[in-house]
Amino acid sequence: MTRFRTLDLLVTVLIGAAFGVAFLGYGQLYTLIGPLTAAFKPAEGLLAGIWFLPAVLAALIVRKPGAALLAEMIAAVVSMLLGSQWGWGTAVSGLMQGGGVELVFLLTRYRRFTLPVAVLGGMASALLEWGWEKIAYYPEMSWPYSLTMLAFFLLSGAVLAGGLGWAASRALAATGAVDSLPAGREHVRATEA
C-alpha cells in the first residue's frame, strides 16, 4: 500500500505540474481582484481552496501516503519557478497545503476516500495555510479580520478543494482514464455491482 509504483508517481507528478502551471494564471486573479478586496481583505480567503486542490485530487486518485504532499509541493515549486508573485513563500504554502491533506488521510490510515474525508482534508489544508499566511503575509491584520479570513479559508477549503476535488476524482474515474489506479478500480467495481 505504501510503495509508489511508477504509474502512481507519474500521475502524482502530472497532477502537480499541471496545477503548477495553472496556478500561475490563478495567481493573476488575485491581482485583478485586488481593488475589490482592498476594502475587505479577508474576502480573498474565499478563493483559497483552489490552491489546495492538487493535494486533495492526488490523495483521492493515487491513494498512497505522500501523494498529496508531493503533488502540492510540485505544484508550488513549478509555480514558483515560473514566476509566482509570492516567491519562495509558495514552497512553504505547498508544504502547509499538502501537509494538511496528508494529516487527514493519515488519520483514516489511507483507507477512506469519501467526500467527508476530502472536505476535512481541504479544511485542514486551509487551517495550516491560514496560519502560514497570518505570519508571513498578514501579521498586521486584526484578529477579528484574521478569524473572518480563517472562516473563509475553511469554507473555501471544504468546497473548492474537498468538494471539487472529490467530484473531479469521480469524473476522472468515470472516464476510465485512471482505471489502473485505486480510484479507477473502485469505480469499476462499483459499476459492475
Domains in the chain (CATH in brackets) are 6-192 (1.10.1760)
CB 113 within 8 A of CB 63: yes
Mean per-residue pLDDT for 10-21? 96
Write down the pLDDT at residue 2. Answer: 61
**165-170: long-range contacts (C-beta < 8 A, 24 or more apart)?**
165/53, 165/56, 165/57, 165/60, 165/118, 165/121, 165/122, 166/56, 166/60, 166/114, 166/115, 166/118, 166/119, 168/53, 168/57, 169/57, 169/60, 169/61, 169/113, 169/118
Write down the pLDDT at residue 16. Answer: 97
Q: How far apart are CA 68 and CA 15, in angstroms?
A: 10
Mean per-residue pLDDT for 162-167? 98
Residue 108's contacts (CB-CB under 8 Å, 6 or more residues apart) are 117
Write down the pLDDT at residue 110. Answer: 94
Residue 11 has pLDDT above 90, yes or no: yes
Write down the pLDDT at residue 87. Answer: 87
Q: pTM of this prediction? A: 0.92
Q: What is the three-class DSSP state of 73?
A: helix
Residue 1 has pLDDT above 70, yes or no: no
